[in-house]
Amino acid sequence: MITCTTVLKVRKDRKTTFERLLTELVTTVRANEPGTTLFQLVRSRREPLTYLVIEQYADAEALAEHSATDYLKATVPEMLTYLTEPPRLDSFDPVA
């Protein structure tokens, strides 16, 4: 299992558009990627323009398949235009 997180800080004037775009991505990933066991967008309670994407993949192959999808490649460039700073990505391996 591989867990990935991405912190996204969104421009105030793009919040609604960003949420719509990412909600579509979440729906598409969940419907088309059986190796993606979790794909969720959450919003900070303290900082309502800060979002976290939480992803879990069954294995490296599932992560590679996700990264190669046309819909992800189409979504990311648009999403980047809505951010106030570059996304912060991290990956984690299980410990216990």
**Can you give the pLDDT at residue 26?**
97
**Can you give the pLDDT at residue 12?**
97
**Can you give the pLDDT at residue 47?**
97
Q: What are the residues facing 54 on neighbouring strands?
A: 5, 40
DSSP element (H, E) containing 90: strand 88-92
Report the chain (96 residues): mean pLDDT per 10 consecutive residues: 97 97 97 97 98 97 96 96 97 93
How far is CA 49 from its chain centroid? 15
Q: Specify whether domain 2-92 bears CATH 3.30.70.20.
A: no
**Can you give the pLDDT at residue 34?**
96
